[in-house]
Amino acid sequence: MNEQVANNKNAEGSIITTTLALSIGYAVLRYHIVGPVPWKDFPFFILNKGLCLAAFILLTMNFALGPLKNLGASVPQGWLGARKAMGMTGFLLVMLHALMSFLLFSPVVYGKFYEEDGTLTLLAGLSMLGGVTAFVVLWGYNMAFQTFLREDKAFIAFITSRKFMLFALLLGASHLFFMGYQDWLKPAGWHGGLPPVSLVAFAFFAVGYVINLFGRE
């Protein structure tokens, strides 16, 4: 193993572990320690929040580090080399998040997503539409690099283009925005004064979006 590969492995391992630890830690702090959620809900309901936050952060970094370098920032080589691992881990975490969310999806767990007659509210419908389309687009993006499609230069140029990336980021953001913006506007109700996970993720999206807007060629 040459020195560069060893450095990349160190960087990707510590970036992924730190992101997971901070994201899960934030969910535990906000919902269990300063919030009212009982600890019995940690293994699924709260862990799901931590995992999807980590996924969002890793994917945003994966998409934004290259454009950030184009803007003149000094991004360490190890971080640039870790992008593939961040993208793949982010995608697998999103898969986990989707599976966990499907199992949890009911009016008892997510009361605010449902009308009294048991149908989805408009905002929940828009949010879930954003989530499932972001998931499918992400799947296509990953497949493009793992299959024969990777030989198709025009397709790869399209899928890594500024236009496509900005569109894909907006899908993820719409998932967060429609689900959360009503709570974002009421800081008095935030547990321990800490912003909801959806707002933390949205802040990462906003920074990543601006970096891609100006730094992607």
Query: Phi and psi dihedrals of 58, rounded to 5?
Result: -65, -40
Query: Phi and psi dihedrals of 163, rounded to 5?
Result: -60, -50
- Beta bridge mates, 114: 120
Whose Cβ is closer to ligand HEM: residue 11's or residue 200's?
A: 200
Cα-based distances in Å from 134 to 30, 63, 80, 158, 185: 26, 14, 24, 17, 25
Whose Cβ is closer to ligand HEM: residue 87's or residue 215's?
A: 87
Whose Cβ is closer to ligand HEM: residue 8's or residue 134's?
A: 134
As a whole number of angstroms, the distance between CA 92 and CA 59 comes to 11
Among 28, 61, 82, 201, binds ligand HEM (CB under 6 A): 201
Binding mask 100-129 for ligand HEM (x = CB under 6 A): -x---x----------------------x-
Taking CB under 6 A as the rule, does residue 134 contact ligand HEM? yes
| In the complex, minimum distance from the CB of residue 149 to ligand HEM, in angstroms, rounded to a whole number | 20
Binding mask 143-182 for ligand HEM (x = CB under 6 A): -----------------------------x--xx--xx--
Stretch that binds ligand HEM, among 65-73, 80-88, 130-138, 155-163 (CB under 6 A): 130-138
Dihedral over alpha carbons 154, 164, 14, 32 (to 10 degrees): -150
Query: How many residues lie near ligand HEM (CB under 6 A)?
Result: 27
Q: Which of residues 8-67 bind ligand HEM (CB under 6 A)?
A: 48-49, 52-53, 55-56, 59
Nearest to 30 by CA among 56, 49, 17: 49
Q: Tell me the HSE value of 94 on the side-chain side, using a 13 A CA sphere.
A: 24
**Burial of 156: CB neighbours in 10 Å, binned 0-12, 13-18, 19+:** middle
Cα-based distances in Å from 131 to 17, 85, 119, 171: 24, 22, 18, 7
Among 197, 208, 209, 215, binds ligand HEM (CB under 6 A): 197
Chain residues in the site for ligand HEM (CB under 6 A): 48-49, 52-53, 55-56, 59, 94, 97-98, 101, 105, 128, 131-132, 134-135, 138, 172, 175-176, 179-180, 196-198, 201
